[in-house]
Amino acid sequence: MPKNILVGYDGSETARRAFLFALELARCSGARVRVVSVIQIAEGGPDVTTLMMSDTSAKRVRELLGELKSLEPDAESLVDLEVVYGSPGDALLTQVLQNGIDHIVIGHTDRGALARWLVGSVSTDVLAKAHVPVTVVR
């Protein structure tokens, strides 16, 4: 049974379902859930990027905690939160190594072939590269 579950969270309906699934899995196995929200950085100089990251990160963690508690009131007791910056797939896979994650739960949003080609698919990227079990929630 998993002990450290990672959930990629972007606020979408499938991310909310993935979060709730991960909480149930955690309750059954006595695990912790690490919820990670990935913010992609737009182009900009290093000073602008640093300022944006510091201002956005703390605010996003507070918003995220409020949102998760609205989905599940006792979420705070089972969840660790982090906001990270970068490519979502790479950022989630880095979390596996840094935090001893042994299971990933991720939502999947159906997109057309063109959209997948243009922006990619985080769930496909994670599935292709993860070395731990992955549950994709639709």
Low-confidence ranges of the chain (pLDDT < 50): 48, 112-119
Could you tell me the fold of the domain covering 4-137? Rossmann fold (3.40.50)
pLDDT tens per residue across span 2-22: 999 999 999 999 999 999 999
Domain limits, the chain:
4-137
pLDDT value, residue 134: 94
Can you read off the two tokens belonging to residue 42?
């737009």
